[in-house]
Structure 1
């Protein structure tokens, strides 16, 4: 991680008056530059220089299941593991809904004021986490269980090729990257994914990743 004065901070949001005001308040409070990056920016990114910073602030409502993949792909292209901070989170959200963020270090709720956010950001940049006690306990238990998961029979029944694709999917690879890795066409990968999703009862890549965390032993996912 960089020194405090060279941290790169990204706010994942469309550019609007609200996001600009939030950016200005955040920059004034933490004395660091904040770059607003939209999903459209990420999708156009050539990968030559990552748009994601050391810390990425993500509005809970900005990414849904369908466009989460664009963000996930940007992380794959990026050479650094950005620490993820969720903002504007609903108070009653289930902890499990937050665990798709693999590098989660902070959660701020929709009714938190800017002073609390700045206090939390200061702690986060000192390599601490800013999570409620319940989320922190659930987070620890989630990954403890993930590391002790035994492989389900459903996964065992997948073909060798389907298991290879699941492993690459878990590493964040795109369809094209999976095709290149396995020396098959992109259409072949799409067909395999369709079959996999049907077998594991998943509707999209995110659901498939969550299923993998709960049904495939860690040793088989690396």
Structure 2
């Protein structure tokens, strides 16, 4: 777990036995407090969201989603969005409205899978199936032919290598093994890359690359 950053978790759901059990499991497994926010809390305004927000796939209708977005817009910090209870057959397109999506958990996922994925997310990785990640990238891909931006040109050779491996879906550990460096070195490079391209997470970096880096430089 990344001890350099203090995470606050918000669970957006109805106050049901299932949601309370989920809250308890997360708190025990992650040793962090989980605050629960209902749709009433969102619609009344003033809801305080943590920097990790878990949303029940079925919970936010259009009105609730608008209230959630307003609450998110009032945050002074960045918010990572995680969807749970997602049906296996759910189309990726339904997830595109989550602009800061970093994780998707499905209805049949055990709590152990949720805890494992949450720990990855808290270590600045993502928990998305390769299909969802690729569909998400394609959705935001610029329709026009992309030419390489000056910002990308100014990245170091090693930073460009890491961007290319990110595009292939490699994890931090896989990047480290490919480049024969430590995982901490990879994290340092990613931090520098994100700062240079104004990205908050790996997915935003990939979306940025699709709009700023010519295809032949990404393969």
- If the length of structure 2 is used for normalisation, what is the TM-score? 0.62
Unaligned regions of 5+ residues in structure 2, if any?
Answer: 146-210, 212-219
After superposition, what is the alpha-carbon deviation per residue over 1:37-86, rounded to whole angstroms, capped at 9, x for unaligned?
Answer: 1111122233xxx5110100000000122321111111111212210000
Q: Which residue of 2 is the match for residue 117 of structure 1?
A: 114
Q: Is the 8 A contact 1:5 1:32 kept in 2?
A: no
In the alignment, structure 1 residue 89 sits paired with structure 2 residue 86: yes
Q: Is the 8 A contact 1:4 1:125 kept in 2?
A: no
Extract structure 1 runs of 4+ deviating beyond 4 A: 2-5
C-alpha distance in structure 1 between counterparts of 2:32 and 2:78, whole Å: 19
- If the length of structure 1 is used for normalisation, what is the TM-score? 0.61
SS in 2 for 1:6: coil
C-alpha distance in structure 2 between counterparts of 1:30 and 1:3, whole Å: 12
SS in 2 for 1:131: coil
RMSD: 2.0
SS in 2 for 1:10: strand
C-alpha distance in structure 2 between counterparts of 1:107 and 1:9, whole Å: 15
C-alpha distance in structure 2 between counterparts of 1:82 and 1:18, whole Å: 24
1:74 to 56, 71, 78: 71
Alignment of 1:17-166 (within 5 A): 17-46=17-46, 51-145=48-142, 148=144
In the alignment, structure 1 residue 16 sits paired with structure 2 residue 16: yes
C-alpha distance in structure 2 between counterparts of 1:90 and 1:107, whole Å: 10
C-alpha distance in structure 2 between counterparts of 1:5 and 1:137, whole Å: 28
Count of residue pairs the alignment pairs up: 145
C-alpha distance in structure 1 between counterparts of 2:61 and 2:42, whole Å: 15
Q: Is the 8 A contact 1:10 1:34 kept in 2?
A: yes
After superposition, what is the alpha-carbon deviation per residue over 1:96-132, rounded to whole angstroms, capped at 9, x for unaligned?
Answer: 1101001000000001110111110010000111000
After superposition, what is the alpha-carbon deviation per residue over 1:4-38, rounded to whole angstroms, capped at 9, x for unaligned?
Answer: 57311000012222111110001111111100111
C-alpha distance in structure 2 between counterparts of 1:116 and 1:110, whole Å: 11
SS in 2 for 1:42: helix
Q: Is the 8 A contact 2:43 2:64 kept in 1?
A: no
Unaligned regions of 5+ residues in structure 1, if any?
Answer: 150-217
